[in-house]
Structure 1
């Protein structure tokens, strides 16, 4: 019996028991994807994030972010470089490291990674920027308190587009 168990683990990535164990591990560790390759065989298991993320997100974005984001684009449009100076010397702007689509939360039903008033550390995930179906977690890279969210949910962002304002004195 021990021989057949070892054969099923090493011989076939499509073994049902092996897949069940992988699914349980995904649930236990809150993983969204597992991609295994063994010689010519490949097994990729995804939990609905990639498919469910885009369409419902667009539907939920306007009511949620409208009030918080309305003043910020006006400030950025009126002279993006003068706005940070008016906020004070302790305000740091977190900019997008890539071109893509901005998401403030891991999935449509999740709470935002951060909101105004939250404290962040250098490794705190503040948002996701999706580029070519890859969801890239963006860390704050500064310590402080979020004072403004400058983009809306599902908004297309360019490289170096301001995303957040952080007060580093708090």
Structure 2
């Protein structure tokens, strides 16, 4: 087995999250065998397999909850444009502008930042869904600090 092939197998193993791998190679021949283990289950890979493991069609389809998992690389951070006090609502007794799970449109007010007795609206630059509020209401925020994560 050449180094490229071995490196490919190790890379696949590392990317898959498996916990056990066994490789047997016969000397003088190109034949070898590999065993990968996941959750106590041994999955033999035939010696003729040179690519990533193929999964059978009998595997259960992804559940609805697995489909709803969002890719963290697609989140957009809304950062503070200034130093000031972060407020999620226009007054202490009113509802917040947005809550986690709300859909936002470009131009919607997300929060207010008070700086030098002036109230400054922070608006959404893109459409999306609010997935996290990263600052605490009434707290001091710094320039460039992440206030929200929008998907």
What CA distance in whole angstroms lies between the structure 2 residues aligned with 1:116 and 1:139?
Answer: 16
Structure 1's consecutive aligned runs of 4 or more residues displaced over 2 angstroms after TM superposition are none
Which residue is equivalent to 2:131? 147
1:89 alignment partner, SS class: helix
What CA distance in whole angstroms lies between the structure 1 residues aligned with 2:133 and 2:143?
Answer: 17
Q: Indicate yes or no: 2:133 matched with 1:158.
A: no
Please show how residues 47-62 of structure 1 align to structure 2 within 5 Å: none
Which residue is equivalent to 1:101? 85
Q: Indicate yes or no: 2:120 matched with 1:130.
A: no
Where is the helix percentage greater, Structure 1 or Structure 2?
A: 1
The TM-score with structure 2 as length reference comes to 0.52
Q: Indicate yes or no: 2:104 matched with 1:120.
A: yes
Shift of 1:120: 0.6
Kindly tell me the number of residue pairs found equivalent between the two proteins.
82
Q: Which runs of 5+ in 2 are unaligned?
A: 1-69
Closer, same or farther in 2 for the Cα pair 1:145/1:156, shift >3 Å?
A: same
Q: CA RMSD in A?
A: 1.4
What CA distance in whole angstroms lies between the structure 1 residues aligned with 2:77 and 2:71?
Answer: 11
What CA distance in whole angstroms lies between the structure 2 residues aligned with 1:94 and 1:140?
Answer: 8
Shift of 1:88: 1.8
What CA distance in whole angstroms lies between the structure 2 residues aligned with 1:97 and 1:153?
Answer: 16
Shift of 1:89: 2.3
The TM-score with structure 1 as length reference comes to 0.47
Closer, same or farther in 2 for the Cα pair 1:135/1:148, shift >3 Å?
A: same
What CA distance in whole angstroms lies between the structure 2 residues aligned with 1:87 and 1:130?
Answer: 33
